[in-house]
Every structure is written in structure tokens, then in C-alpha cells.
Amino acid sequence: MRRKNVDEECTGEEEYEGSGMRWWDEDNRIHTSKYNILTFLPINLFEQFQRVANAYFLFLLILQLIPEISSLTWFTTIVPLVLVITMTAVKDATDDYFRYKSDKQVNNRQSEVLIDSNVEVIRLGHSYFINWDQKMYYSGKATPAAARTTTLNEELGQIEYVFSDKTGTLTQNIMTFKKCSINGRIYGEVHDDLGQKTDIIKKKKPVDFSVNPQVDKTFQFFDPSLMESIKLGDPKVHEFLRLLALCHTVMSEENSAGQLIYQVQSPDEGALVTAARNLGFIFKSRTPETITIEELGTLVTYQLLAFLDFNNIRKRMSVIVRNPEGQIKLYSKGADTILFEKLHLSNEDLLALTSDHISEFAGEGLRTLAIAYRDLDDKYFKEWHKMLEDANAATDERDERIAGLYEEIERDLMVRVEKHDETAINIGYACNMLTDDMNEVFIIAGNTAMEVREELRKAKENLFGQNRSSSNGHIVFEKKQQLELDSIVEETVTGDYALIINGHSLAHALESDVKNDLLELACMCKTVVCCRVTPLQKAQVVELVKKHRNAVTLAIGDGANDVSMIKSAHIGIGISGQEGLQAVLASDYSFAQFRYLQRLLLVHGRWSYFRMCKFLCYFFYKNFAFTFVHFWFGFFCGFSAQTVYDQWFITLFNIVYTSLPVLAMGIFDQDVSDQNSMDFPQLYKPGQLNLLFNKRRFFICMAHGIYTSLALFFIPYGAFYSDAGEDGQHLADYQSFAVTMATSLVIVVSVQIALDTSYWTVINHVFIWGSVATYFSILLTMHSNAMFGVFPNQFPFVGNARHSLTQKCIWLVILLTTVVSVMPVLAFRFLKVDLFPTLSDQIRQRQKAQRKARPLRSRRPQTRRSSSRRSGYAFAHQEGYGELITSGKNMRAKNPPPTSGLEKTLSNSTSWIENLCKKTTDAVSSFNQDKTVKLHEIPEQSIPPSKAVIRFLTCTDSGKEYKQTSVF
């Protein structure tokens, strides 16, 4: 399992098991590989011999080179050891290459060393299946799924808690301008002939922007009143659009066709600047000192006086510009909750109306953004700018002084509101993670630790009743019990509940004396949404679950502020969306669409767990059968260390005779088809409960192996005890006995794996029956006169195989041994499937009996719960772009911006991708209805509808600015 640290940023050198190391050079290049041509061999050998098993066998090999203290020759150890080291080195080299491209006794010895090698090969095969899966390939961006590690595949089949970001993960991180509220008037709504507000229908024609030669043809707006206000010269509307065209970090460049291309650092900014462009206020170009825009056909160049950059605390950005008339303006945009505190007192009435508009917008599932402006006096600005220069040059408390000056000038603002995209809670309803059928949705919004504790207590009372509370209002738990929530028996909760908590309240809820109450309540809810949380809080929630719930966790996100969450979970998944590659580089698996998570877990994850468990069960079985024969033989040879088989059979049993069949089963086997795995999510439950390989299954394998070893030894022993062959010679010689047992063992374990195989391919047939044929070929060759003549000391069983295998009684003994070994198991499995079939057994029978397609499941029409007033702000932005722009480091050298005659057509570079929420409902709604459901992390609007086998937690960051939503 991968070790991860909880950091807000991905900095320094970080190491992952199976993922190599990742670090940043001074030139900001990312390195993820560990080796080069010169260092591969020494580093890889050093790493491999750090494993206890490999070091042990190296030491054992050295001892076997001393004949006085070893009863076996050295090749019985060196052959499997070299094979294992070579196979592991090939796997490690393959892994590193792909990272570079995206940036006891001898009979037990082979088991211990070879299981590592086989496991690595199986994991590598499973990883390639993920990479090659065409159903996880996103043709829109030519992006396949990628397994960036080979060590965690089977854990994908054991996930109980999924933590997910919202924007760009559960939703498309694609922004479009929908509506706006300017000076108390809403633009963007559609009305019918009677003047009543109505939804947009296909027959409704969008506003005609053809008069604008630089319009984005993909842009659609259905309210002509906004264009009318622009044409009439409404100064408030003009100022609104002017702000959108000036207050941003967008860069423009000219392509080979003479068109302007916008390079945006977030889809939000691209949507805003594009909207202004389509409405006649076109951002043209910028230098470190100027911004040039075209206002209704007239080029205007503004002097950029200051850039007040965005950060996670400010949740806003501002620019101060001087227009051609010499007026100084401050334009600001950011979270409504922040900007509303900065408004001039004269805006009180407008603030109330605009707040209602914001609540309405958020209720419709749109993301909102407030914008505001202020006129600045020239003298005041000069004084303020001088203080800013002094603060920038300061060595002590520089950041605090700059922040204070920003706060001082960003006040007495005039407000406007713009909206786009969806907010978190509404996405929860859209994804059926929140539904109107829920008994209650608990909202935790306390401003202090006491308020949060009290709200959690009341919510728990609704779930559990008053008997869980003491007189002081606190839950009665010993600290030991609180910290060990694994041992708490979850009470039966009737009904469906959801929990919604904001980032401020979550900070208090994560305190040591409250967090266990939060976790207990959250795990009893069907859905938990954490809104507006920081990247660190995301990681803290993951760590809370990892620490107190003995379960495998998975985190999925698409941006840099998801990295800490991704690294904290046992398994991290990166979405290669609109936010760059930071999340992908920090992840174990990556793909382009959130909907692929369903297939990754329910198909690849479940199959990997199923295959690995079958491999381990069979591997231990065949080696117990192989090993215990020596134990029984010891009673008859006085425990003299004499082996019951010849040394070459001991050497080749695991690496030649039985290695390929078990590898084929571990790589290719499947109990049910991929479609049935998707259609019956209940099949995922055994992995969560670890039912397919545990201590009980291990002891069953041991008992099975011991029983087989008894049959393998005592049936030939009893048959040969006083019998003679067809030639009249006695059969009870050591060499004939060894050949008979060895042949019986190879046939028994081959028949057993044939019975264990659920899904047959050509490779399975070739490997199983080919291994049996290989055994006989090698046996006859090693017992031939020719081999004895060349190596008389190494091949002493001359002629024995030919002599023994021509005796009918030998074959009858082999047949009897095989039947006695296999028939009880066959009978038990037949009765079990007939009398107590598992869901997998039933579906497998269904597959055999019915080949017709399953009828499509009907989906309930989705309804949306009416919401109380809330903010829909979730602006995606990152700190540092302001300084980059004003320094000019990100701009190409070019001529000064022209003052007239710019003839360029703008083209937004934001690409449009498919809806990431597609099939999310189906991915979770069919999960089992019982208590194995676990924690979900989802944004405010993204929680699955049913009691799923996997619980989701969705997060939207305040750092982007996204609303973080956590779903338990």
C-alpha cells in the first residue's frame, strides 16, 4: 500500500511505492522516473535485495555452495531466485519507462520467492487491461485510462470510501455565461408571450450576434433585453461588461490564421471574457503596463496601475486602471460573501435585491460571482501606491502589510452579479445524491466549536434518539471508544439522511473533541456534502476516515488543490480535465471522465481482487500439497533430509510445471462478465468485506493442501508396499515411488486449476495442458541415457521414467490418487452451488442460461429540492498570476499595442468536454441496500441516490475557488 503525507502543496521530494519518486528541478521540470541506463542495474538490485525474501535466498544460496552443510545442490535455489529477480526487474523497468513517458526447507523456498514474482506479473497484466480498456478511452481528447502504478489494482476492488472533488470531476469544468443581475435587474431569463418566466426550449431562438464579426459562434444567449440595454448606452451595463473585459489574467496571442486565441488559467475567466467579447467589449491584448480592449467597435487602451492578485483568503481579485480620460477605476470580482462586506452604505437597498438574485441563481444550480467597482481619487491612489511600494520592499511582515493595503482600497464598492455553472448542493440533487425523498438534510453551519458540537448533537438525536445523550448534552463515550470507532456497532437507521457542512464549521468539527461526533454522524448519513473547504481540510477528512475506519479509501480530483486529498487516500485518481496535470501526476490512476470510475471499480477493481484471491488460494494449496509430502516421507526416512522427489523436479515444479497455469488464471479469470459486474454492484461487496481471501480461507487452503498431500503420499505407498510390476520386479523402489508421486502431483494440481478456472481462454488451455505435456517431456529427457551419459552426477534417475510409465499399475495408482484428491472438492462445490449459491453463482448460471440482452432500466425523473438562500460562488482561480502579468515574464516580446486598427478575431481556447456526471446515478444507485455502504465525498450537489456499496465524498475548494463538498 502506498505511503502518503498530508501536504497542502505537492512540494519537495515525495516517494510512492509503485509510483517512483517525483520532484521539481530548478527549471520547474517534473521528474517521475527513478532509473537511467547506467543506474538501473545497481539501484534495482539494491532495492530488490532489501526485500527479506530475496535477501534470505541469497544467504541460503551462499550456504548451499558449501557441500559439507547442505544436502541440496546450489541450482535448486539460484534458478528460481534469478528468475524472480529478472521478472521483477523487467516489471520495474517497464513501470519506470511509462513514468518517464508521462513525465525454511527447499520445498517452501520456491513458494516464498516465487509468489512475489507471480504477484508482480499478475498486477502488471491487470494494469495493462486498464490501459487498454476502450470503454474508458475518451475520444474527445484522445485520452486513455492509465494505471500509473502496478501495486494497487486489487485494492480497487475493496474501496469503501470515495472522496471526490466537484468542479472538473463530478461536473464539467466548463463555464458558460448564463445570467447576470445588473443594478437590480436580471438579464438572461426567458419569458413567454404572456410575460411569464419560462424554461429555454429548443424552438426558442438565441439572440443574433451576427453583427459582431468577432463573436464566438458557440455562445448562446436568449434574452434580447441585454443587447437592447447595450445599444441604448446604459452606463451600468457598459461598466459591467467593461469590468469583465479588464479584470482577469487572460492572455491573448495571434495564431497563424491571424485570429486571437485566449489563453486562460481557469475556465471561469474564459467564460467571463468570452461573454464580454460576444456582447461587444472585446479584450484585445495586454502588456505589463496596459490593457487594450475594443468597446463597441472603438479601441481603448487602459493603463494598468496595480494588480491585486487572488488568493484563498481574499477570495477575490482586483485591477486598478486609468482610462483615456484620466479617471482611475478599481474593478474587483470574487465571492459575493466577501464583496458584499466591502460595499458602500448607499448600496444597502441594492444589496438586499441582489442577494435575493444570488439565492435564486444558486437555487437553479448556477455558480455565482459578484463584481464591483470604485472610482479612486488621484491623490489618494498615489499615496496608497507609495505605501504599497514600501510594503513590497519591506523585509518584515511583508505579506501582512500588502494584505492590509489591499483591504484598505477594496472598500466602498458598487456591486453587480454574474452567474454561470452549477453550485454544489444543486449538483447533489442533479446526481441523485441528494433527493427530495430524504427524511431530513442536516445543515451544520455553526460559527464556533460549541455551536458545531450542539448542531451535531441535535442531528444525532434525530437519528439515534435521546438515549444517546447525557445531561450536559454531550454524547456519552469514553475517549478510548471515541478514538476506536471501528469497534462501534452502527445502529440501524430508518430512513435516508444527508449532512451538509461548510468549510468554516468543518474546521471546528475536525477539532479533537468534536471530530468523532462528526464521523459517527456522517457514517450514519446516506450523503455528506462539505462546502467551501480548503485543500488541507480535504486531506484532513480523508485522514480522519483512514484513522478511525478500517477501510480502503479512494480520492479523485482534477486540480492542484486536490493533490493533498489524492495523496492522503490509499488510492488516488486524477482526472485529466481542464485544470492541468497536477492531480494526474500525483495519482495512481488517471482518466478523462468521472463516469469511468464506475468501470474502474466495479469491473477492473473487482476482477483484480477476485483474480488475486483465486491466485493466492491456489498457490498456497499447490505448495502445501507439494510440501507436506516431504513431511510424511520424513517419518519413513528417519527425517534424514532426504527429499522425496529428485532435485530437478523440486527446482522446476513452481517455475515451469505449475507457474503458467496459475498466472493465466490470475490474469484472465473472471466469474461474471464486465456488463454483469456493472449491472449488479452487489458483487462488489465481498471485496469490501474481504471475503475471498482471509485467515479462514487461508486455513481452508492449507487443509485442502494437506488432504491432497496425504492422498499423494499414502495411496502410492500403500499400492507399492507389497506389489510387483508387470515385469515381475518390485515396484517399491525409491525412484519409481518418486516419479509416481511427482506425476500424480502435476496431474492433480492441473486438474484442480482447471476446476478453479471460471473463464477459459486459449491461453488457459495452452498453459494448463501445455504444462502437463512439458512435465512429461522434461521427465523423459532428464531420465534418458543421453543426459546420464553427459551429467551422471546430476541425473541419476536413468531410465526410471520410461520404465515406470509403461506399467499399467502405475497409471492406475495415478488415476486413483487424482480421483481421491479431486472428487471430494468437486462434490462439495456442486452441493454448495446447488444448495447455497452466492450472487456470483446465480449470475454465472444466468449467463449460461440466458444470452439475451438485459432490458434497460428505467430512470426516475429527477426533481430538485427547493433551497434556502445561499451563495453560489465557486470561482476557479489560483494565486500568482497577477505578479506574472505585471512582471511581463509570461509575455512574448512584441511591438507596443496599437492604438487603432486592430483587426483580429478572438477565439476562446476553452474546450468543451462531455458531462462528467453522465451515468453517475447508474454507477451508484444500483448498489446494495444494506449497511456496507461507506463514506462519500461529493460537492454540494453530487451525492449518490441509493444506499450504495461505496460512499462518496465530494469536495469543492475554496482555494480555486470551488465549493468543497464532502459526502459521507
Q: 556 and 643: one domain?
A: no
Crossing angle for the helix pair 606-634 and 106-132, to the nearest 10 degrees: 170
Alpha-carbon distances, residue 667 vs 663, 752, 783 (angstroms) = 6, 17, 34
Which secondary-structure segment (H or E) carries 372? strand 367-376
Residue 429 has pLDDT above 90, yes or no: no
Stretch 870-887: mean pLDDT: 66
In a domain, 799, yes or no: yes
CATH code for position 389 = 3.40.1110.10
pLDDT of 578 reads 66
Q: How confident is the model at residue 735 (pLDDT cuts 50, 70, 90)?
A: confident
Go through 807-816 and write b for each residue having 16 or more CB atoms within 10 A of its CB, e for each that does not: bebbeebbeb
Find the domain containing 297 and state its range: 176-420
Q: 376 and 321: one domain?
A: yes
User: 376: helix, coil or strand?
Assistant: strand
Which of the residues 92, 95, 96, 165 is marked catalytic?
A: 165
Q: 636 and 741: one domain?
A: yes
Alpha-carbon distances, residue 519 vs 236, 252, 483, 884, 939 (angstroms) = 49, 48, 10, 42, 17
Q: 683 and 580: one domain?
A: no
Number of domains within the chain:
4
Q: 229 and 165: one domain?
A: no
CB 146 within 8 A of CB 152: no
pLDDT of 328 reads 96
Q: 593 and 608: one domain?
A: no
Q: Which of 802, 833, 864 delimits the end of a domain?
A: 833
In a domain, 22, yes or no: no
In a domain, 122, yes or no: no
Average pLDDT along the chain = 78
Q: 565 and 506: one domain?
A: yes
Task: Work out whether strand 159-165 and strand 936-937 pair parallel, antiparallel, or are unpaired.
Answer: parallel
Stretch 854-859: mean pLDDT: 49
Q: 656 and 574: one domain?
A: no
In a domain, 932, yes or no: no
Q: Which of 833, 855, 879 delimits the end of a domain?
A: 833
In a domain, 941, yes or no: no
Name the least confident of 232-236, 710-714, 720-724: 720-724
In a domain, 143, yes or no: yes
Q: State the Cα torsion 943-947-933-678 to the nearest 10°.
A: -90
Q: 94 and 185: one domain?
A: no
Q: 334 and 251: one domain?
A: yes
Question: Does the reported pTM lie above 0.95?
Answer: no
Stretch 99-116: mean pLDDT: 59
Of 518, 500, 491, 493, nearest to 434 (Cα)? 500
Of 345, 339, 328, nearest to 383 (Cα)? 328
pLDDT tens by residue, 515-541: 888 998 888 888 888 887 888 999 999
Residue 559 has pLDDT above 70, yes or no: yes
In a domain, 886, yes or no: no
Q: 148 and 269: one domain?
A: no
Which secondary-structure segment (H or E) carries 844? helix 839-849
pLDDT of 321 reads 97
137 CB-near residues (< 8 Å, 6+ apart) = 143, 144, 145
Residue 855 has pLDDT above 80, yes or no: no
pLDDT of 428 reads 74
Crossing angle for the helix pair 75-101 and 106-132, to the nearest 10 degrees: 20
Note if 165 is an active site residue: yes
Of 311, 328, 496, nearest to 407 (Cα)? 311
Task: Work out whether strand 589-591 and strand 146-147 pair parallel, antiparallel, or are unpaired.
Answer: antiparallel
**HEC profile of 114-147:** HHHHHHHHHHHHHHHHHHHCHHHCECCCCECCEE
Of 911, 157, 876, 917, nearest to 593 (Cα)? 917
Q: 326 and 261: one domain?
A: yes
Cα–Cα dist 636/804, whole Å? 22
CATH code for position 522 = 3.40.50.1000
In a domain, 903, yes or no: no
pLDDT tens by residue, 190-202: 766 665 666 655 5
Name the least confident of 201-205, 551-555, 833-837: 201-205
